[in-house]
Amino acid sequence: MIKTIIVENAKSDAENLRNSSDSISDDELIQRTKGIMGDIEKYGDSAIMDYEEKFDGVRLNSLKVTDEEMREAYNKVTKKQIQSIKMIRNRLIKTEIALFKQLQKKISFSSNGVNIQRTIQPISSVGCYVPGGKARYPSTMVMCAVPAKVAGVNRIVAISPPLQDGTIDPLTLVSAEICGVNEFYKIGGAQGIAALTFGTQSINKVNKIVGPGGIFVSIAKALASTRVSIDMVAGPTELVVYADAKADARLIAMDMISQAEHSYDTFCGLVTTSKEVALQVNGEIQSILNNNSISRIDIVRKSLEENGFIAICENEYSAVEFINEVAPEHLEIMAKNARTISTKITSAGLILIGNFTPSSASDYCLGSNHVLPTSGFGKVRSSLSVLDFIKIVNKVEATRSGLKKVESKVREITLAEGLMNHYEAIKERIK
């Protein structure tokens, strides 16, 4: 059964819900991840191959995907699959270019003898993590590589867990080639994040790591953030559906199931003001699971039983407050006044409005990016985009008269802070 929550205090109830499903702070998992990353930093490729054999069941001869393997991948996919990947890529490109054009506007400001310019510059290298394990994610390859390419990143590296025959999912390789990835390595998990962070004998380290993953990848990225930039904590998958009394319970149930099939640790729930809808959705989910007619049913059942929830709120205000505290990765709003409600949401990775905008479609072909913040980080950021692959370069130039105009004020502040050598460096120039 999916647990039901009667929301009385939106903030504390949301916090309790988050804490009950949060594995990022699990001390044992953190220590295990630290151990793996420490081995990669110390021993490099040999440690990677040992861990790949341990976790993915394959002993690799080499880590890098060869040109021949990339060519062979095209023989293992269909024309329709390639067309679908290109459609996802092209729709995402349009979204990212529209944003990038706004960013390219040069900002220049001159006043009182000081000129300040702000321009954008791409990050020089990025590593894209593409999950494997229970499923294959060529679409994630597109989501990570396209905004990097639009931003002008010079070196785009991809890593993904190998299959048991030592290969990478062919459609993922084809997607990488289509999107302009420069290097692809057969490596997953915390060991993959460590390789991108520290570098090894065959893998040069990168400046930033992006992409979603399971719990070990998320912890590894958090640990790596002291040495290399990361995009966000992105995974496992989360979905919250807000529904009013008129919402279609069958659609809600199907959407929760669609996200729960990712892995055992997905976080899927319903928030509603209607007890009747809550009962209907619970009933629909149980009916679907009891029929044993869906794929990946064991994953779906365990995920919903362990991490699924239905939260019943007194009114719309309480529901919105609860959602903003949970800050889900995906938020679907299935209500008569969905657009109005969406304006009140301040904390969600992606807001999907209306009956015809399911999260499963946004995962692929709507033009939005499906690499999104989880674990409550929807409070401070949204999806992966070209913004993650650029930095702002600030240039400041002052004239002698401009420096002289600020001299007395700098003197006062440096005196107050006890850093008078700062002032002396200025005084020397204008005396």
Residues with a known catalytic role: 329-330
Kind of pairing between the strands at 3-6 and 229-230 = unpaired
SS3 content of the chain, % helix, strand, coil (to 5): 50, 15, 35
Q: In the chain, what is the straight-line distance between the N-terminal and C-terminal CA atoms, in Å?
A: 79
- Residues 281 and 312 sit within 8 Å (Cβ to Cβ): no
Contacts of 277 (CB under 8 A, 6+ apart): 243, 244, 245, 247, 249, 252, 270
- Residues 169 and 75 sit within 8 Å (Cβ to Cβ): no
Q: In what order do the strands lie in the sheet with 350-353?
A: 3-6, 309-312, 267-272, 238-243, 330-334, 350-353
Joined together, the tokens standing for residue 148 give 């990097």
- Residues 63 and 185 sit within 8 Å (Cβ to Cβ): yes
